[in-house]
Amino acid sequence: MITADEQLAEMAAQALAEVRRQKPLVHNITNWVVTAFTANATLAVGASPVMAHAHEEAAEFARAAGAVVLNIGTLTPYTVQAMSLAGRAANELGVPVVLDPVGYGATELRTSATERLLGELRVHILRGNAAEMAGIGGRRAVIQGVDAVAAAPEAETAVAVARRWNLVAAVTAAVDSVSDGRRLLQVANGHHLLTRVTGTGCTASALVGAFAAVEPDGVLAAGAALVCLGVAAEQAGERASGPGTFAAHLLDTLHNLDETAVRRHARVAWAEPPC
Amino acid sequence: MITADEQLAEMAAQALAEVRRQKPLVHNITNWVVTAFTANATLAVGASPVMAHAHEEAAEFARAAGAVVLNIGTLTPYTVQAMSLAGRAANELGVPVVLDPVGYGATELRTSATERLLGELRVHILRGNAAEMAGIGGRRAVIQGVDAVAAAPEAETAVAVARRWNLVAAVTAAVDSVSDGRRLLQVANGHHLLTRVTGTGCTASALVGAFAAVEPDGVLAAGAALVCLGVAAEQAGERASGPGTFAAHLLDTLHNLDETAVRRHARVAWAEPPC
Amino acid sequence: MITADEQLAEMAAQALAEVRRQKPLVHNITNWVVTAFTANATLAVGASPVMAHAHEEAAEFARAAGAVVLNIGTLTPYTVQAMSLAGRAANELGVPVVLDPVGYGATELRTSATERLLGELRVHILRGNAAEMAGIGGRRAVIQGVDAVAAAPEAETAVAVARRWNLVAAVTAAVDSVSDGRRLLQVANGHHLLTRVTGTGCTASALVGAFAAVEPDGVLAAGAALVCLGVAAEQAGERASGPGTFAAHLLDTLHNLDETAVRRHARVAWAEPPC
């Protein structure tokens, strides 16, 4: 559905090469469910994950990192405070901060934690699903638990969130939309089994962090990460017989992903932002 | 060893179809070890998992859920209090509560937490292994860590626990026994590799929750969940070369499980409850 | 690169048989990232894992265990205190204690937690990577996050740490070095994909615990565990197409590992300790 922009495909391939060359440290404060898969995916793409949430060391790891990824799944007040400490330390040094507002709108705690972090921190990239992001953009969405069941058109949502919060918004869906409020980039890579494995959204956020560590333009960083994850997912989907083998193959295909495959299979393009 | 009851096999197949139709939200407060596998198995069977334990949101998710599953592996006083909050909110709205008393009898903390939750909450279904359940039923069992090494006959245990605590008791073993104190249902599906993967008992409890969300009769709900998990495990066992590939294939076979396979392979029947 | 010592290969094979015969309970207080994989690997090798960190039960599980494994990844002051309680209870009964100083030197919290535990407890075996162990031995190393990027020669490090702290030091690297300060044992088994799966170092520590439960000589216990993990990794590497399938196959090959394969493929030998 997207005619690939060759320059963007080339950018994604080069960003992947750069992640592998620099092996950036990505400091994650994330949830109990996805820690292992997120760390393994970060390793597979070529970066170096650290998962740490103690208040005594959150800022120290953030200062050493190429990017900080904050994820509010299984949040508690303790972990939100850790995210605040890590995020502020990252902001002081200009280390990019990625926020994943898991379940925004599902409970008061998640909504207020997201708004606290967006208020306190300079968040560079906000990565969420359509329902979470629609809520953050001030739109209505139907949410069941932490998974979206219906939402406003994603491209509009991405632009609205980016403008409202002055950041890069990445809305992942069948077609992903990434915007800084001015530009809109779309990625059509992916596989339906991504929605049947827990933590693939969280993994997308962690990979966005890895790419943000090497690419200062947040729209390009998020776009490249989503292209690489999507192309790897397509390759994994061909080998999988269901979500369990898909998850294992996805780590393999991320690890083996070559720049030529990214150039050839990337379905990424600029689109006209809705007014 | 069990001549399948055709009506029960049909019931299990229809319950699976109903889980997939309704996609119930299953709220889990569970342990660090099994969160990812439990969530993935819940997704694979067609339900929608949420894992959340903060006191500020435990009741809120419970009220939105089709079932609440409480699991005391890696418990702390904090998470037990979260289970109490979620369970009481569920009770107020009639949302079914499933309790998994991981390691009951192994430590004083686990024994007292189980008894606190059984005392405070209306638990609809209690799912445990033979040693845990023998202890809860007032019988002696030999326990090593959180795994049973010897126990009283499971059918008797299920009936005794159900009568003592006025709930549905599901004792999983080579042949599973489910009882409400009056009826006794047995399930002979399963595979020996289930005992070599951590968290398959916890996963059984989560699937019991998914089925309890769509089937009000707790004996039928637990029976249908154990049939589906057991048939999927048999299919996974045929493809696996050990516990690692078994775990991946189990998610695949749960995801691909069709009602015809359930009808054909279910080994489930009513049995005479021991006096 | 190592000419195998036949007696050591035989010792490793017999230790594996003994783990499977005794099925020791291994009590782990470990990090969020690796709990599931560590527990599954411990089950696969034939031991019985329990993961529990509540202060109310940490000592109780430690007293029931064949070995206690403490791992400071994702540490908080709460979990370090749990490690102290479990370790002291283990020391009172002579239950061997294994410590994994994840990220020593990366943050002040990790350095001080490691030193606190080494000071308070009689640690039988300390298992770490080259950079962590170089730091503990008083040498300099370049650390990025929790992964080593450069370090002093591992054999020297193992001997220095063992002498400085009066324990068995196991430094895992391309060639593992195990020393009690007097003897030096080296293991050349392994596979490069072990470094691309999160928690394989933590898993090594857990398996060292399982073997320490059945083999009182800590150098032999650690050596046997590293041989078995390394041989299983070589077999898994032959079947894997990347880190995701490698992790699944590693659990399979640990489960299926037979003593003949250990005898045949072990690359383990005594070496001359550097002065």
- Which 3-state string (H, E, C) describes chain B? CCCCCHHHHHHHHHHHHHHHHHCCEEEEECCCCCHHHHHHHHHHHCCEEEECCCHHHHHHHHHHCCEEEEECCCCCHHHHHHHHHHHHHHHHHCCCEEEECCCECCEHHHHHHHHHHHHHCCCCEEEEEHHHHHHHCCCCCEEECCEEEECCCHHHHHHHHHHHHCCEEEEECCCEEEECCCCEEEECCCCHHHHHCCCHHHHHHHHHHHHHCCCCCHHHHHHHHHHHHHHHHHHHHHHCCCHHHHHHHHHHHHHHCCHHHHHHHCCEEEECCCC
Q: What is the pLDDT of residues C120-130, one digit of tens each?
A: 999 999 999 99
Q: Which of A155-169, B223-237, C128-142 has the lowest mean pLDDT?
A: C128-142
Asked whether residue A198 carries a pLDDT value surpassing 50, the answer given is yes
Q: What is the pLDDT of residues B228-275, one digit of tens each?
A: 999 999 999 999 999 999 999 999 999 999 999 999 999 999 999 986
Check C255 against B244: CB less than 8 A apart.
yes
pLDDT category at B151 given cuts 50, 70, 90 is very low
pLDDT, residue A1, reads: 53
Question: Nearest CA to CA, how far is C151 from chain A (Å)?
Answer: 18
Q: Note whether residue C275 is domain-resident.
A: no
Mutation choice for B interface testing from C26, C40, C202 by most B CBs within 10 A: C40
Partners of B40 on chain A (C-beta within 8 Å) are 197-198, 243-244, 247
Q: Which of B127-141, B163-177, C234-248 has the lowest mean pLDDT?
A: B127-141
Name the percent of chain A lying above pLDDT 70. Answer: 94
C-alpha span between B21 and B26 (Å, rounded): 14
What CATH number is given to the structural domain containing C128? 3.40.1190.20
Which residues touch A77 (CB under 8 Å, ≥6 apart)? B54, B56
pLDDT, averaged across chain A: 95
Q: Of B107, B144, B199, which is closest to C57 when you measure between CB atoms? A: B107
Q: Which residues pair with B67 in a beta bridge?
A: B26
pLDDT category at B3 given cuts 50, 70, 90 is confident
ipTM of the complex: 0.94
Mutation choice for B interface testing from A38, A75, A198 by most B CBs within 10 A: A198
Q: What is the pLDDT of residues C228-250, one digit of tens each?
A: 999 999 999 999 999 999 999 99
- Residue with more model confidence, C152 or C252: C252
pLDDT, residue A142, reads: 54
Check B35 against A32: CB less than 8 A apart.
yes
State mean pLDDT over B12-35. Answer: 97
C-alpha span between A35 and B14 (Å, rounded): 35
Question: Nearest CA to CA, how far is A31 from chain B (Å)?
Answer: 9
Task: Find where tokens 């279904």 sit.
Answer: B125
pLDDT, residue C149, reads: 46
State mean pLDDT over C198-212. Answer: 97
Asked whether residue A93 carries a pLDDT value surpassing 50, the answer given is yes
pLDDT, averaged across chain B: 95
Q: Note whether residue C71 is domain-resident.
A: yes
Nearest residue to C202 (alpha-carbon basis) of C12, C89, C42 = C42
Check A244 against B256: CB less than 8 A apart.
no
- What's A174's DSSP letter? S
The domain tally of chain A equals 1
State mean pLDDT over A238-246. Answer: 98
Task: Find where tokens 């600029």 sit.
Answer: A270
pLDDT, averaged across chain C: 95
Asked whether residue C144 carries a pLDDT value surpassing 70, the answer given is no
Residue type, C178: V
- Nearest residue on chain A to B247, alpha-carbon basis: A244
Q: What is the pLDDT of residues C254-264, one digit of tens each?
A: 999 999 999 99
Check B64 against A196: CB less than 8 A apart.
no
Q: What is the pLDDT of residues B84-99, one digit of tens each?
A: 999 999 999 999 999 9
Contact between A105 and A129 (Cβ < 8 Å): no
pLDDT, residue A156, reads: 95
pLDDT category at A83 given cuts 50, 70, 90 is very high
pLDDT, residue C4, reads: 86
Contact between C151 and C104 (Cβ < 8 Å): no
Task: Find where tokens 């493929």 sit.
Answer: C265
pLDDT, residue A151, reads: 43
C-alpha span between A50 and A48 (Å, rounded): 7
Partners of B248 on chain A (C-beta within 8 Å) are 244-245, 247-248
Task: For A18-53, give the DSSP string.
Answer: HHHHH--EEEEE--TTTHHHHHHHHHHHT-EEEE--
Check B249 against A247: CB less than 8 A apart.
no
Asked whether residue B112 carries a pLDDT value surpassing 90, the answer given is yes
Asked whether residue C151 carries a pLDDT value surpassing 50, the answer given is no
Name chain A's partners: 3 or more CB pairs within 8 A: B, C
Q: Which residues pair with C27 in a beta bridge?
A: C50, C68
Q: Note whether residue A139 is domain-resident.
A: yes
Partners of A65 on chain C (C-beta within 8 Å) are 145
Q: Of C37, C108, C147, which is closest to A36 when you measure between CB atoms? A: C37
pLDDT, residue C147, reads: 60
Domain that holds residue C48: 6-263
Q: Could you tell me how many CB contacts below 8 A there are between chain A and chain B? A: 101
Pairing of strands C97-100, C184-187: unpaired
Partners of B44 on chain A (C-beta within 8 Å) are 196, 242-244
Left, alpha or beta for C221 (phi > 0: left; psi -120 to 50: alpha)?
A: alpha
Name the percent of chain C lying above pLDDT 90. Answer: 92
State mean pLDDT over B15-22. Answer: 98
pLDDT, residue A139, reads: 74
State mean pLDDT over B140-147. Answer: 60
Question: Nearest CA to CA, how far is B75 from chain C (Å)?
Answer: 7
Asked whether residue B49 carries a pLDDT value surpassing 70, the answer given is yes
Question: Nearest CA to CA, how far is C43 from chain A (Å)?
Answer: 18
Q: What is the pLDDT of residues A120-151, one digit of tens each?
A: 999 999 999 999 999 999 876 555 666 654 44
Check A244 against B32: CB less than 8 A apart.
no
State mean pLDDT over B200-204. Answer: 97
Query: How many other CB atoms sit within 10 Å of the CB of residue A94?
Result: 9
The tokens of B44 are what? 């694979």
pLDDT category at C145 given cuts 50, 70, 90 is low
Q: Note whether residue A1 is domain-resident.
A: no
Partners of C197 on chain A (C-beta within 8 Å) are 40, 43
Which residues touch A17 (CB under 8 Å, ≥6 apart)? A259
Contact between A51 and B30 (Cβ < 8 Å): no
pLDDT, residue C28, reads: 98
pLDDT category at A12 given cuts 50, 70, 90 is very high
Query: How many other CB atoms sit within 10 Å of the CB of residue A12?
Result: 30
Question: Nearest CA to CA, how far is A11 from chain B (Å)?
Answer: 33
Q: Note whether residue A160 is domain-resident.
A: yes
C-alpha span between B248 and B43 (Å, rounded): 13
pLDDT, residue A149, reads: 46
Q: Note whether residue B1 is domain-resident.
A: no
Name chain C's partners: 3 or more CB pairs within 8 A: A, B
Asked whether residue B149 carries a pLDDT value surpassing 80, the answer given is no
Q: Note whether residue B80 is domain-resident.
A: yes
pLDDT, residue C274, reads: 85
Asked whether residue A107 carries a pLDDT value surpassing 70, the answer given is yes
